[in-house]
Amino acid sequence: MYPQLLTYLFEFIKYQDQVIKTLQTLLIGKSMFDKPPEQPVNKPYRKLQVDELPIIEVPEKLDYQVLRTEFLAKHGKPLNPVRRHKNTKISVPKSLICPKCGAPSDYLYANNGAKGQYRCKVCTCLFSDKNRFLKEVILKCPHCSKSLEKIKERQDFDVFKCKNNECPYYQKKRNGMSSKEKKRFKKDPQAFKMRYIYRKFRIDFQPLSKESPELPIVDLSRIYSSPHVLGLTLTYHVNYGLSARKTAAIMQDVHGVAISHQTILNYVNSVALILKPYIDHYPYELSDQFCGDETYIRVNGRWHYLFFFFDAVKKIILSYPVSPNRDTISAIRAIDEVLLKMEDIPENLTFVVDGNPIYLLAQHFFAQNGISFDIKQVIGLTNEDPVSTEFRPLKQIIERLNRTFKGNYRSTHGFGSEKGSVSFVTLFVAYFNFLRPHASLEGKVPVTNPELLGLPTMPARWTKLIELAQQWIREQRIA
């Protein structure tokens, strides 16, 4: 086969495809590749403002046994357990201990009985069953240093509020209201966020927990006739974004290879299994600037979200989870996958994301787990906001990435299964990080591997990449 002719044919097919799309756009008035009418939930973000972190105080812990010894030394007599009246109706649960000094229930008074308040005889601490936890960690308003009050329990977090009327945060909000706003506030106080709010997460997720890679057992030698055929199919399907059907057609028409589109989809699944641990555990050299964005993909006829996180300087995709929901836990997972790829967490670590509040909630979640980074949100389309101006180029980078992905993905017409979608996304990431030259990297591939780049054609590079991944898996097995 003459390579020039092939390239020409290829460009011609792409051109035809473009003409068809343009015609459809003109005829129907809108591109059929636009999102169909039943769209993923894309309501304007609820105006959730996320305030800075509270002051977290861990109160001094006392030891009741030390306190009892001190009592004995000072008073010359031991501090005895509480003597309870025989006919008292109020009992202290046996399992209850003092949250401050650890004294057992024998040393606790039922202070006001039915209301569930207790007093410790050893350290005089007052507490109730409800605020026990607050005695272990005290959350205080960063504006007025008063203790926060728990006002709501949500699925993933508890909401705490500063109810102090003298709080500078509240005062400033109140005084900043126009008379019109004040009127509305009287009628509908819920419409305004007047007070400092803090969300304490109860998400069952341990950040930075390194799992050993899942090492798949896939025997490629049984599923394809020649590595070159596999390399060609992946090139058409992933690099050029041709659908599996078109790829099958071009394999037949141009190369004389009979291969069904289903076989191509099976290839995609198998190769993705092999490449995933390799691209996820590759020792990437990273910067400290990262962008994140969500895009939609269709899985089983339903919209899902693909979270992309990406080194903005090195142009390396680090995280690409697919989730049916655009929620905080998905944002946390996506960011965690980026953090896992860092040797140390850099001091000036910054994530540039859109205006979705889930990223701020994720930032709070990590901060609560001792992992700090900056979130810069690029909101809206105008450049009025100073943050937006500075970080707009980064945002544009990720939007370009999204366009590249959609360009390759759109022809696949969504995925029949979640596995299929993850497989295609995995291959796209492999292509993007290891095979695709990048204009802003002076035409270089983000990860420069001489073993790959020394090869003359893309199919050869795909087969080499698969070989490297298989070799890596073998090494992991031995290790």
Pick out residues in 252-271 that bind Zn ion (CB under 5 A): none
CB of 199 to Zn ion, least distance (A): 16
* Interface segment toward Zn ion; rule CB under 5 A; list 83-91, 135-143, 263-271, 410-418: 135-143
CB of 361 to Zn ion, least distance (A): 20
121 near Zn ion, rule: CB under 5 A: no
394 near Zn ion, rule: CB under 5 A: no
CB of 202 to Zn ion, least distance (A): 23
* Residue 297 and residue 417 in contact, taking contact as beta carbons nearer than 8 Å: no
Residues 6+ apart with CB under 8 A from 437: 443, 444, 445
Pick out residues in 344-363 that bind Zn ion (CB under 5 A): none
318 near Zn ion, rule: CB under 5 A: no
Q: Determine which residue in the list 92, 110, 162, 316 makes contact with Zn ion, applying CB under 5 A.
A: 162
Phi and psi at residue 80, to the nearest 5°: -90, 160
* Residue 320 and residue 438 in contact, taking contact as beta carbons nearer than 8 Å: no
Structure tokens at 414: 């969504």
CA-based diameter of the chain, in Å?
103
Give 110's strand partners: 118
122 near Zn ion, rule: CB under 5 A: yes
* Interface segment toward Zn ion; rule CB under 5 A; list 162-170, 211-219, 299-307, 404-412: 162-170
* Interface segment toward Zn ion; rule CB under 5 A; list 13-21, 167-175, 361-369, 394-402: 167-175
Q: Determine which residue in the list 6, 48, 96, 123 makes contact with Zn ion, applying CB under 5 A.
A: 123
250 near Zn ion, rule: CB under 5 A: no
The identity of residue 391, as a single letter, is F
Count, residues near Zn ion per rule CB under 5 A: 15
The identity of residue 216, as a single letter, is P
Pick out residues in 185-224 that bind Zn ion (CB under 5 A): 196
In the numeric block, the tokens 């030698």 are attached to 221
Q: Exposed, middle or buried, 89 (CB in 10 Å: 0-12/13-18/19+)?
A: exposed
* Interface segment toward Zn ion; rule CB under 5 A; list 15-23, 137-145, 392-400, 450-458: 137-145
Pick out residues in 90-109 that bind Zn ion (CB under 5 A): 98, 100-101, 103
CB of 192 to Zn ion, least distance (A): 16
Cα gap 94→88, rounded to integer Å: 15
Q: Determine which residue in the list 9, 55, 126, 144 makes contact with Zn ion, applying CB under 5 A.
A: 144
Structure tokens at 400: 């370009």
* Residue 352 and residue 309 in contact, taking contact as beta carbons nearer than 8 Å: no
Q: Exposed, middle or buried, 199 (CB in 10 Å: 0-12/13-18/19+)?
A: buried
Q: Which is nearer to Zn ion, 81 or 216 (CB)?
A: 81
Q: Exposed, middle or buried, 174 (CB in 10 Å: 0-12/13-18/19+)?
A: middle
CB of 175 to Zn ion, least distance (A): 15
Q: Helix (H, G, I), strand (E, B), or coil: what is residue 289?
A: strand
141 near Zn ion, rule: CB under 5 A: yes
249 near Zn ion, rule: CB under 5 A: no
Task: Give the single-character DSSP code of 415.
Answer: B
125 near Zn ion, rule: CB under 5 A: yes
Pick out residues in 436-475 that bind Zn ion (CB under 5 A): none
Strands 289-299 and 316-319: unpaired
Which alpha helices (H) appear in 341-457, and where do they start and end? 358-368, 386-409, 418-430, 450-453
* Interface segment toward Zn ion; rule CB under 5 A; list 138-146, 280-288, 322-330, 465-473: 138-146
Q: Determine which residue in the list 13, 167, 234, 465 makes contact with Zn ion, applying CB under 5 A.
A: 167
CB of 360 to Zn ion, least distance (A): 19
The identity of residue 189, as a single letter, is P
CB of 186 to Zn ion, least distance (A): 22
Structure tokens at 41: 């939930």
Catalog residues that contact Zn ion under the rule CB under 5 A.
98, 100-101, 103, 120, 122-123, 125, 141, 143-144, 162, 164, 167, 196
